[in-house]
Homo-oligomer: A and B are copies of this chain.
Amino acid sequence: MNLKEMGRKASEVKLILQKLTESERNQALLKAADRLAERKKEILTANEKDMEAAREHNMKQGLQDRLRLSEDRIEAMAEGLRQIAALPDYIGEVMEELERPNGMKIAKVRVPVGVIGIIYEARPNVTADAFGLCFKTGNAVILKGGSDALESNKAIVKVIREALEECKVWGDVLQLITDTDRKVTVEFMKLKEYVDLLIPRGSAGLIRSVVENSTIPVIETGTGNCHVYVDKDADPEMAAKIVCNAKTQRIGVCNACESLVVHRDIREVFLPILKDRLDSHKVELRGDEGVREILPDCVPATEEDYGMEYLDYILSLKTVDTVEEAIAHINRYNTKHSECIVTKNAETAERFLNEVDAACVYWNVSTRFTDGFEFGFGAEIGISTQKIHARGPMGLKELTSYKYLIRGNGQVRQS
């Protein structure tokens, strides 16, 4: 099907979607969950075709692992939809109400965004998840997943659409672009007439390509060059525990720590404790002179190291003389994602919290908590690293917009 036709359908269906009640939307989500769980075999057969092609093309093991489905993973998809169904409904919420001197009453009401496009890589679990979050918030969705997961995605979308239609919900609330030509993806990014918001999920390269090509408003997600700053007034044990957690608890994620900034006066006490902990995870350290004075085995850090999101067992280290210098270093190299200070000094901490420019700034807490679930949102479509619309973890509310409803009795404007 051509893209314009898909856009037109999504646009039509978004207006019908508004009329579904909360309970109708939740029932459809639960039905989709049940059908995914029941039709695992069909999905696994399709996934096997993708896996075969992946093996033929010598896809990297890590990527193959993301592409692979199993009974458990499909069960987890279904469970994800059930959890989304159980979350509160925000659509229709009156966010503000005011009455003007001329007697007109203005209500600011939460509404769906409309049509959301999601562009992602070969992770078939995103298919069900993105659908669930968008549908829960009354949005129609058009998905463009990685070509390597096409068969898996087609199977998942087929099962969900059929489940929706069982509930008398138009299947076109969920559409999948099956043309794998890159030109089609770029054309999708320009489908402004029909698509209200585009969210890329995936590598820095994918996100950059969307930002550069899209004429649709984009929310940038996910790149995280996150720092922990260990202040002179830090508790060294707490600092080591936080850095070790933020660096090693899960390395391939955007909220992992990539760089340590350390105050000169605490180096001697702190760095050996840290090294002990990190050695057990085989973390490679790349530091400046100030660090290498204490840890002579440490690899010298280059300028590039400070700008790197390693997503690996590597940590860059930088020495500073003051908290100002720490803040300046972080504001220069960070991706505005998540930053942390470890200190017992409240004044220093508040300064850091206020002056570091990032979606999430932590005091004595691991950066790994930047996550919609950990924040209690119950869901997450991504972590926004831009400043408009949404910043940080994006849950259901961040997939909504608002409109003003103005009720009166014949008011006209005089000047």
Residues of A within 8 A of B (CB): 14-15, 18-19, 98, 100, 104, 106, 113-114, 192, 196-197, 211-212, 215, 217-219, 235, 238, 241-242, 245-246, 249, 331, 349, 353-355, 357-366, 368-369, 374-376, 386-389, 391-392, 401-414
Contact = CB atoms under 8 A, between A and B. Distances in A.
Contacts of A375: 100, 106, 404
Contacts of A402: 391
Most chain B CB within 10 A, of A19, A235, A366, A413, is at A413
B245 A413 contact: yes
Contact of A405 (B215, B246, B353, B408): B353
A361 B215 CA distance: 26
Contact of A219 (B238, B359, B388, B410): B388
A369 B403 contact: no
B217 A403 contact: no
A15 B357 contact: yes
B388 A242 contact: no
10 A-B pairs with least C-beta separation:
A245-B412, A365-B408, A368-B413, A387-B401, A389-B389, A388-B389, A238-B410, A366-B412, A360-B404, A365-B411
Copies of this chain, whole number: 2
Given A386-B217, A403-B391, A406-B360, A368 B412 contact: yes
Q: Main SS of the interface on chain A?
A: mixed
Contacts of A368: 412-413
Nearest to A218: B217
B364 A408 contact: yes
A323 to B, nearest CB: 14
Nearest to A342: B410
A236 B210 CA distance: 50
Contact of A242 (B245, B365, B410): B410
A192 B217 contact: no
A406 B114 contact: no
A355 B15 contact: yes
Contacts of A246: 412
Contacts of A192: 211
